[in-house]
Amino acid sequence: MKRALVVILTLLFFVPISGEGAIRKCIICHQKPGIKKVLPSGAEVSVYVDRKLLRASSHRRLKCQDCHIDVTVIPHKGIKIGRVHCNRCHYQGAPKGIPQPDSIYKKYWDSVHGKKVKAGDPRAPWCQDCHGGHGVFSPNSPRSKVNKRNIPATCGRCHKKEYQEYRESVHGVALLKKGIMAVPACVDCHGKHNVYSPGKPYSSVNPQKVPETCTKCHADQALMRRFKVSLNPAKTYRESFHGIALEFGELKAANCSSCHGVHNIFAPSDPRSTVNKANLPKTCGKCHPGANENFAKGKIHLDVHSKSSGIVYYVAKFFIILTTGTMAVLFIHIFLDLYRKIKEKREVGE
């Protein structure tokens, strides 16, 4: 009897895994909630697989070994199992129906995440860390880890401080609590697979690129009208001293996030806002030591073409008229002088 049991177990487990029975064999162990893998460092990671989640996922028709190619027999104790490489299936020219994101892989490996993976950082995210391992769903699905409403929590697994700030901000409350999909999540500002360090000139959060990133939304007239947000800041910043200085490469000049915050953005009326009147001296003082209440009393984001700018509007009008008038008089003078010289030449010729 004992010998028969050994034979049965051998047939069940100590055989190459293939065919439809593969998942059934793997799940015998991996459906146990407490199952863990011990890493060489001594750390333990869960290798539990939620069978229901797997059956509902985009990969429900795949066999375990389609992804876990290292595992050829069960049990696989002693076999070195590497991380799953998604580009085994997702490559240019893959069978119809399989996304072929070649350009995405290039962006990823050039990104700050990809470079950390290359450098051997075990905490750096791979595809499955963001998209899910066994629970991979379309981004349109509410169950997807990269569905817009779930992105902050997905990024927040690593970026905890930023996530806490974002979820309380005006953007986070609108997305996570009110379900407004038109507001930005992490990837709208930082990029998806092309997440680069702010120090890189091509990063969407490089100081010189921040105004461009913010104005993707804040210069959209229809969108700003919908949320009753003024277009004035986006319209006037580039004409301001700060905007012009930044345009000419002075990266220390204030950009949108320097004043309004990065992840902790609140409405100006909110006492927590860095641009609330009570907080402006401190905000301005980051660049202008000694800034006091008087320093921050003036109007911000002045539109010199609007009468709401007060005396600045009239001063700008005066200089426009003065400059135009001066140029007109100059051209008239040049024309009359040229006319006189031509007339004199004609009289001499006669």
DSSP letters for 130-150: HH-SS----TTSTT-TTSTTT
Based on the domain organization, do 264 and 203 belong to the same domain?
yes
Check residue 311 and give its pLDDT. 77
Q: Could you tell me if residue 120 is inside a domain? A: no
What's the pLDDT at 200?
94
Residue-level pLDDT at 207: 95
pLDDT reported for residue 102:
65
295 and 316 in a single domain? The answer is: no
Long-range contacts for 292-300 (Cβ within 8 Å, ≥24 apart)?
300/275
Residues with Cβ within 8 Å of residue 193, at least 6 apart in sequence: 104, 105, 107, 108, 111
State the Cα angle at 99 between 94 and 103, rounded to 5°. 90
Report yes or no: 153 and 159 within 8 Å, Cβ to Cβ: no
| Domain presence at residue 206 | yes
Give the domain-ending residue among 90, 111, 127: 90
- Give me Rg for the CA atoms of the chain: 32
For residue 203, give the amino acid letter.
Answer: S
SS3 call for 61: coil
Please give the pLDDT value at position 203: 96
Residues 292 and 323 grouped into a single domain:
no
Residues 11 and 40 grouped into a single domain: yes
Give the whole-angstrom CA distance, residue 219 versus residue 231.
6
Sign of CA dihedral 145, 147, 149, 154: positive
Residue 162 maps to a domain? no
Please tell me the distance from the alpha carbon of residue 217 to that of residue 212, in angstroms, as a whole number. Answer: 9
pLDDT of residue 5: 45
Structural domain of 338: 307-344
| Together in a domain, 285 and 313 | no
**Cβ-count burial of 234 within 10 angstroms (0-12 exposed, 13-18 middle, 19+ buried)?**
buried
Residue 278 lies in a domain: yes
Measured distance CA(241)–CA(238) in Å, rounded: 8
Number of domains, the chain: 3
Residue 128 lies in a domain: no
- Supply the pLDDT for residue 10: 44
Which of 90, 121, 141 is the endpoint of a domain?
90
Res 349: pLDDT: 66
**Buried-state track 198-220, b at ≥16 Cβ within 10 A, e below 16:** eeeeebbbbbbbbbebbbebbbe
Last residue within a domain, chosen from 38, 56, 90:
90
Note whether 292 and 220 are same-domain residues: yes
Q: Identify whether residues 288 and 214 lie together within a single domain.
A: yes
Residue 178 counted as domain residue:
no
237 and 320 in a common domain: no
Q: Flag whether 240 is in a domain.
A: yes
Residue-by-residue pLDDT tens, the chain, 350 positions = 544 444 344 444 444 454 445 567 888 899 998 898 887 778 888 899 999 999 999 998 888 988 999 888 888 888 888 889 888 888 877 787 787 766 788 889 999 999 999 999 988 999 999 999 899 999 999 999 999 999 999 999 999 999 999 999 999 999 999 999 999 999 999 999 999 999 999 999 999 999 999 999 999 999 999 999 988 888 889 888 899 999 999 999 999 999 999 999 999 999 999 999 999 999 999 999 988 888 777 778 877 777 776 777 678 788 889 999 999 999 999 999 898 888 878 877 66
Claim to verify: residue 243 and residue 315 sit in the same structural domain: no
202 shares a domain with 274: yes
Residue 81 lies in a domain: yes
Considering the domain architecture, whether residues 312 and 259 belong to the same structural domain is answered as: no
**23 closest CA partner among 11, 59, 318:** 59
Phi-psi region of 261 (alpha: psi -120 to 50; beta: other; left: phi over 0): left
| Best CA proximity match to 23, nearest among 53, 62, 56 | 62
